[in-house]
Amino acid sequence: MASIISSQVIESLTPGRFIAALILLTISSFVVDFARKPLYSKALPRVGPGGSFLGTLKSWAYFLTRYHTWVAEGYEKYSKQGRAFVVPSAPYRPQEIVIPRSQAAWMLEQPDRVLSTKEAHRDTLHNDYQFFGVDDEFPIRTIHKHLARNIASLIPAVQEEVHAAIDDTFGKDVENWTSLNLWEAWLGIIPRVTNRILVGAPLCRNQEFLDCQVGFANDVVRNGFLLDMVPHIFQPLVAPFIVLPNWWHWRKSYSHARPVIEQRLYDLERQESGDDPAGDDWKAPEDMLTWLIRQAKAEGLTSELNPEMLSKRILPVEFAAIHTTVTTGFNLILDLLSSDPSLGYIDTIREETSRVFAEENGAWTKQGLARLHRTDSAIKESMRFSHFARALTHRKVVAPEGVTNPVEGWHAPYGAFLMLDLAGTHRDPELYPEPDKYDAWRFSRQREAYEAKSAEEKGDAEEAMRVKKLGMVTTSAEFLAFSHGRHACPGRFFVAHELKMILAYLVQNYEFKPLAERPKSIWIGSSFIPEVQARIEVRRRKRRV
C-alpha cells in the first residue's frame, strides 16, 4: 500500500505542479514575513512606496536603486524640520525610522535594554549565519579594555609594518611610473597592518592567511545582500549554503592561526604559573590575541580559552577593520588626487608629516601624530565627503513594550529599526559650507586660527573645547563616520594613527599623477560601492624618508 501511495505522489509531481507549488510557497513566505514586520504609527510620515502590502512589493523592485534617493528626499522634507520619517528597507527587513539630528541624543541615550546596537548589528550582518553564531560583544569589550592603554606602545610596530607593506605594494622604482589598482594596493596594506595588532608577526605577513581574511570580509558584504532577499522562514534552510564561503575562508585561515594561538595559550599559562616560556625576560606580545585571553581569564570565561573560539572572536574585528579602513584609504587617495593640483594638498601634507617626523627623530609617537593637524583634517574631510554607507548608526527596539518618542509622540514597537542619516548630515550645507566639495583643510583652518591667537585670546574655554573636538576621532551628531554615542567605533583611535602613518609614508616616499576626474561610485541599496577598478600612476621619490 505504501509503495502504491508513494508512486502516485511521485507521478502527481509534474513540472507544472512543482513550479506552481514553489510559487505558492514563495508568496506564502512573503505574506508571513510581511505580517511579522513591526507596524509603525500612521503619524510618522513615509517616503518611497507605502507600508501596505502592494507598497512593500514595490519597494522590493526598487530598493537596490532607489533607497538612497528615498532617504535623501526624507532628509530634506522631514529631518531638516526636526521630524522622523519611515523609509523602505531591504525586502525581508523591517522598514526603518530615520531619526532627525535634533533627536539623535534621545536615541543614543536609550539603554541597551530598550534600543540595542548589538541586536541591530546581529540582524543587519546576519551574525548567526555569517559569524557562526559568535557575536562581537566580547571582542568589543576587550578592545575597550585594552586598546587605549596600549596604543602608544603599539605605534613602533605599526610604523614598521606600514613601511614594509607599502614598500612591498607600491615598489621602489624611482625611474618609471607604475600603474596600480588602488583598491588592490590598499588591500596589500590594511590587512597586514591590522593583523600586526590582532595576531602579531610573523602571521600578519602570511599572505594566504591575509587573503582568507579579506575573502571572509568580502563574503560578509556579499552574503548580507543575499540574505536580505531571503524570507525568514527559508533562511535556516538556505543560509548554511550561502555562507559556505565564509566557513571555507575561516577554516583555511584557522589552519595558519591555530599553531600561533595554541602557542600563545601555552606561553601565557606557563608565565601565569611562574614558569616563563622563554626565561624571565619573556613578555607576551601586546595584540588582540593576548588581550582576548587575558579578558577571558579575568571574566572567568573558560569557554573562550580554546583556539577555535579565539579565532572566531577575531573574525568580526577583521571584517570591520579591513572593510571600512580599505574603503576609507581608497577614497582618501582619490579625493586628494582628483583635487585641483594648484591647491597643493599633497605637498602641504608632505611638508607637515616630514617636519613632524624629523622632530620625532624618525619614529612616530602618539604626541607626534597628534600634531598632524592638516593631515588629520584631510582624512576627516574625506570621511565626510566620501561616505560609503547611507547610515552607520542603527538601533533595534528590543524592549517588549517598544519605545515612545517624547518629542513627536510616535511609538516604535518591538523589532523596529531606528537609524541616523550619515550621508544627509555630511552633505548638509547648513553644517558644511560647499558640502559637495572636498576641502582638505576644512577642519584644520579653525584649529590653526585658534593656535595663532595669543595666550590671552585663548582664554575662552568654550572655544578651546570646540577646537579640541575638530579631530577625526571626535564623533558628534554632525560627524557620524565612526558612528556616535557610547557605541561609537572603539578602534577609531588606532585607525586614526594607522591612516596618518600610511598617508605620511606615501606622500614622503612617492609621487602621484593627478587624476583628471574622480572615478564614480554607485549606490546599491544602503551602500556606496567604490569603483574598485580605479588605477593611479605612482613613482618612488629619489629622496626617501
Answer left, alpha or beta for residue 13, where phi above 0 means left and psi between -120 and 50 means alpha.
beta
Contacting residues for 447 by C-beta, under 8 A, at least 6 apart: 373, 377, 467, 470
Instruction: Give 405-473 as a DSSP string.
Output: -TTT--EE-TT-EEEE-HHHHHT-TTTSSSTTS--TTTTHHHHHHHHTS-TTGGG-HHHHHHHHTTSTT
Cell numbers given for 475: 564623533
* Beta-bridge partner residues of 539: 511
3-class DSSP state of 339: coil
Cell numbers given for 432: 558644511
Residue 132: closest CA among 234, 240, 219, 233: 240
Is position 204 annotated in a ligand binding site?
no
Cell numbers given for 344: 597643493
Cα torsion angle, 36, 50, 126, 238, sign: positive
Distance, CA of 228 to CA of 63 (rounded, Å): 11
CA distances from 102 to 86, 92, 392, 496 (A): 16, 30, 17, 28
Cell numbers given for 473: 576621532
Residue 536: closest CA among 257, 183, 219, 229: 183
- Whether 51 and 252 have beta carbons less than 8 Å apart is answered as no
* Annotated binding-site positions: 489
* Annotated binding-site positions for heme: 489
